[in-house]
Structure 1
């Protein structure tokens, strides 16, 4: 069990690590200052300069490519748009934000957003591996199934979801950055998970012509091809374009499963003058097959099974039945116009449509021995149910805001005032049925009878938000103050064996305040307070709709930006409290409560409170030319602070929510040779540690998921160093989980445990010109 001493030790560890990092930076910088051979390194902008990066077109991705939405120079980003919706310096924003740049994604060979987040503090992105969905835990807040915390925002607009399995997936090949804003973000974005948000920043047209062709091959049976071309259309550079395409096929660790993707994404930018930018974009993604790890019982994965452990390659479904076909299309625009040096207006809009056809045979536990054949022992055959969901959804989001930059005496202001609107409409027809048992050591697959589609769910949601924010500078002080009011409505109609209709309507005001002091030596201590809300769709056993989940966060921290080389070090301590948390309601799961007599999907009550506090450390730096270092550590102490639920005679109050590891740590180092006959050859390596978590609500000893440590490797070579004729050719090989370690990544219950991903090898050849 985790105790108070763990928190104090973690704080001391964070302080020591920060001091060591800064001391190392000073030593390296001194050595570098004495050297005359290394060329100077340019970075995104300068600390404390609000105008660095051009708050105009670059902030909106309009082709300048140097601001908060454009490419970062290396692994270190100094500016971000996610924390303020303006082109703001990370060191001035009083909240923990980290940025996964394009170069980091390429160096680590990320094939999904979840993989891109592996080395970020406070984030656990692969509790259930696969590319069907990207669900994350941030500062302990996440979950599984209907309560999972899926990726949130794409270019500052919320990513919607369908009823169950219809959810969008964004490939990292389309992205320039992945930004993680920890803690509440409701002031700027409305309803949102309390732990934080992930904002995916797309590649956009650039002024410089850019052409790339990429071919990849790997194991298990991975083959991919991609292209990324763009640049100016006319000689004046008023019209820019970019077209990105990707095709990928891959097998997985599990028999009879594969992953397929086909996508195309064009975008065009029109800049009639220096003050106006309009970018139109579209994307189409078809995933004929996508993969998510099997549900498997704890007995045979987490726990020892006398019959033998369940193989990681075991497929609990049926190759004649299982599948997930998803089509996803989106279209939108980003507009920006500056009237003068004071006023700028922006509007972003996106419409998205998703179709999903999902078939599966989830395992529900072990059957008796006799049902699986004469002489079969117990705990050998798995019971299953058949599931079929056909879904679709349409959604639109628009965000309009005006920005004003002005002074009031010695106080400099960047004021933002905006209005955003979100709408979504989703439907699903579905059915479940019986399925045969299966022997996990000797599986036999035969065609099955598909379940009848007997139920239907229709959902619609709208949200209107009005917000304002003021970023203020007074000499070395940076202040941030924001407030927002939201009106949210939902309509859910369930028709079938159990019918239900709910129309919750909610409104809430959220706010945040923070301050940062910028020392001349690069240190920046900060403190902030923020609140959040998130509407909760569904009803309790009486049919009464749930009220929104609300929360608040206190955060203090220290950021450090060296003057001598690109780098950013952040340490944060946080305390988050969430109210109106949904908890399991087993006391009303009986035939006299129809809403709780079925599969239990409505068997929840809203009487809980969760508290999460902890410490995070993040370091990204390039202390020497060719050397990149990424390090992270987090400690999360999250508890159910209030709950009337008692499971197996044990109260869950005071327990740790399922799936949340206590400690995580990671280190990635990449170095490219700068001289000698092997100049241009680079080596990268990383280690990831994920601490223990619990697989049940009462934190029983039998359901403790052990900690695990994984190792990754990368090798890359720039052929231009071999011959000028080979300029533009680059090769890379990445190996994730080098030792092919078999481990349980998480458990959601005694019947739902998940193996983590095995070894994946990917080789890639790229030509750019």
Structure 2
């Protein structure tokens, strides 16, 4: 059985797999041995578990945990030391592979839309990137703990991941330069030392056709070498006319574990997307059918190609000392062009202006780290120390074009074709080099009180060349970020914490980096006798050093770094398997956002305004029920989204709405399932964004799949 093979690898200080980069460099807290042994079953026999295991946010749990439950009770260091989410002094969510499959989440936005504090879908038919905000601010994304950086402009493929992990709020001590809203970390599927496989075919709305395969096994009798191959091909259209949504993904992994103490993993992956980027929007005068298209079929393309190679190494020296090292190289090309409407509420008649826009970009990135961890016990005190270094070298080149397009008669659309010429308004090459050092110290007293402290310094060298004028500029930054937390285990079921954390946003040349700081108070409850985890957190998150326009005494307007924004809020989350047949995921968020000091570009004050796309209230609930005697299961979900402002001036606002999703699964042959998923069950339509035109939420989509597992 799979568990029989995995369990010895968990016992004692057996390190299976490898850490996943930067998050591993700075754990959040420490975790007593008694609970660790109780939850994992490890620690029997002569091998001694460390009483203190640092908690991190990016590590990978065992495969069986991700596929068999929606409740991620533990986070895992790459060395497979189990640590408890319950005792982590931060607001954390984990979306396991089982939950992703239950909801048939096919984009990152789908994966995250039932997670409290996260706003998704506000760019509607703009499918160039994964768009999400956490706690009202932009968030940073990672893959296996390493920042995606210049690779960010890509829609990730959820089929590639074991789980998706969310850390809400500031965290540069953990990650380095990061946006203040939080972090989303994608944990890659990796080889397992057992034989397994899955294959599926699917068909759905908008002529969607796809096939997927995920297989793996050991390669030798001694079970020291294992492989995994994961792939997916999709041929589809989108909900608007003259669209396409095609993609190919292939990933291969190889893990070598020659001894109980050493593990090395290599992952190679390739992603190719051939899509249309945008419908171009819809006129203001009335609600239009989502299928209508007012862009240009001959100039509506988005081509993405990304290749990555990742290596991960772990070695346990014994006596509490472990080395981890991670390295990744990525290469990306990302080209798009489309036509968008530039409508006006004062327009008379049916003719609407339009514009062409496009960008060609290339990026390369090398990032790696080395981390030493030392665990020790001193009577009633447990200690865990991490120290590490990180290096990142990235470059990108981008050319952006623009041109006015022929107006279109929305009552009788006639397309004019691609542009005869385009004006280059920006051509730039950027180079980034980052060197970082970090230290985190965790101390546990009497297995009840846990103190965490961390410090990180990032030295960044940035250079930029304007390819139109052949002028260059550069900037050096040295930024320190701090983190501190106190955790108190009230009982073995209830833990509470108070924390302070800082963030430093990725800087730009000539501009002081924006900084964030967060104060958070939280509690988590993991009841005995139930596979469930409940959490609550209240917080204040501030963003300082925002560059704004300031009107001077002489009437001129100058840019100054004095802007400040703040969000105060509450996050509630419940993940529970109430019975063997019934599970639920629920969340609620309250956000009170305010611009403390800010302006528009013309100097108009925004003081006291709400943030854009930041609703005060959000709530969600997903339930899944299984009828084992009938080999059937049903899922039903609801997502409530409160009203929010479209613009910084707070002149236009959305309507509050509730969307429903559903699923059905039937095992008609042994190990073979038919599943049907419906998103936006009632096909509710509303405006989610409004600028030069209106943009609607995604309409109803139906997807049917037949899958076989072995």
Normalization by structure 1: what TM-score? Answer: 0.81
The aligned counterpart of 2:141 is 152
Contact residue 54 and residue 83 of structure 2 kept, 8 A = no
Determine the C-alpha separation between the residues in 1 that align with 2:64 and 2:596: 39
Residue 439, structure 1, aligned to residue 435, structure 2:
no
The aligned counterpart of 1:39 is none
Determine the C-alpha separation between the residues in 2 that align with 1:161 and 1:434: 29
Residue 73, structure 1, aligned to residue 45, structure 2:
no
Determine the C-alpha separation between the residues in 1 that align with 2:34 and 2:339: 55
2:87 to 92, 101, 110: 92
The aligned counterpart of 1:8 is none
State the secondary structure of the residue aligned to 2:482.
strand
Structure 2 stretches lacking a partner, 5+ long: 1-32, 43-48
Quickly say closer, same or farther: Cα 1:614–1:119, change in 2 above 3 A: same
1:327 is displaced (CA, Å) by: 0.6
Contact residue 60 and residue 335 of structure 1 kept, 8 A = no
1:479 to 446, 451, 458: 451
Which deviations, in whole Å up to 9, do the C-alpha atoms of 1:596-633 show, x marking residues without a partner?
Answer: xxxxxxx9653310001100100001020021110000
1:519 is displaced (CA, Å) by: 3.0
Determine the C-alpha separation between the residues in 1 that align with 2:253 and 2:82: 22
1:532 is displaced (CA, Å) by: 1.2
Please list, as runs of the form range in 1=range in 2, the aligned pairs for 1:192-203 lying within 5 A after superposition.
192-203=178-189
1:269 is displaced (CA, Å) by: 0.3
1:572 is displaced (CA, Å) by: 0.3
Determine the C-alpha separation between the residues in 2 that align with 1:478 and 1:651: 44
Please list, as runs of the form range in 1=range in 2, the aligned pairs for 1:16-415 lying within 5 A after superposition.
47-49=35-37, 52=40, 67=62, 71=66, 73-81=68-76, 87-129=82-124, 131-142=127-138, 149=139, 151-161=140-150, 167-292=153-278, 294-296=280-282, 300=284, 305=285, 308-366=286-344, 377-378=348-349, 380-415=350-385
The aligned counterpart of 2:608 is 654
Determine the C-alpha separation between the residues in 1 that align with 2:617 and 2:63: 31
The aligned counterpart of 2:516 is 551
Quickly say closer, same or farther: Cα 1:169–1:604, change in 2 above 3 A: farther
Question: Is 440-449 or 525-534 further displaced after alignment?
Answer: 440-449
Determine the C-alpha separation between the residues in 2 that align with 1:499 and 1:754: 38
State the secondary structure of the residue aligned to 2:99.
helix
1:683 to 634, 638, 647: 634
Determine the C-alpha separation between the residues in 1 that align with 2:60 and 2:647: 47
Contact residue 434 and residue 459 of structure 2 kept, 8 A = yes
State the secondary structure of the residue aligned to 2:154.
coil
1:85 is displaced (CA, Å) by: 11
Contact residue 210 and residue 235 of structure 2 kept, 8 A = yes
State the secondary structure of the residue aligned to 1:436.
strand
Residue 627, structure 1, aligned to residue 582, structure 2:
yes
1:517 to 481, 488, 491: 488
1:296 is displaced (CA, Å) by: 4.4
Which deviations, in whole Å up to 9, do the C-alpha atoms of 1:711-751 show, x marking residues without a partner?
Answer: 000111233xxxxxx3211121110001111111233x3x2
1:464 is displaced (CA, Å) by: 1.2
1:51 is displaced (CA, Å) by: 8.8
State the secondary structure of the residue aligned to 1:214.
strand
Question: Is 664-673 or 358-367 further displaced after alignment?
Answer: 358-367
Which deviations, in whole Å up to 9, do the C-alpha atoms of 1:544-568 show, x marking residues without a partner?
Answer: x111111110000110011112111
The aligned counterpart of 1:756 is 697
1:529 to 500, 503, 513: 500
State the secondary structure of the residue aligned to 1:695.
coil
Quickly say closer, same or farther: Cα 1:223–1:465, change in 2 above 3 A: same
Contact residue 510 and residue 533 of structure 1 kept, 8 A = yes
Note the aligned Cα RMSD (angstroms): 3.0
Determine the C-alpha separation between the residues in 2 that align with 1:493 and 1:273: 49
Determine the C-alpha separation between the residues in 2 that align with 1:586 and 1:382: 35
Determine the C-alpha separation between the residues in 2 that align with 1:86 and 1:401: 15
The aligned counterpart of 1:31 is none
Structure 1 stretches lacking a partner, 5+ long: 1-44, 143-148, 370-376, 539-544, 594-602, 720-725
Residue 728, structure 1, aligned to residue 671, structure 2:
yes
Determine the C-alpha separation between the residues in 1 that align with 2:681 and 2:709: 29
The aligned counterpart of 1:599 is none
The aligned counterpart of 1:640 is 595
Question: Is 222-231 or 500-509 further displaced after alignment?
Answer: 500-509
Quickly say closer, same or farther: Cα 1:360–1:514, change in 2 above 3 A: same
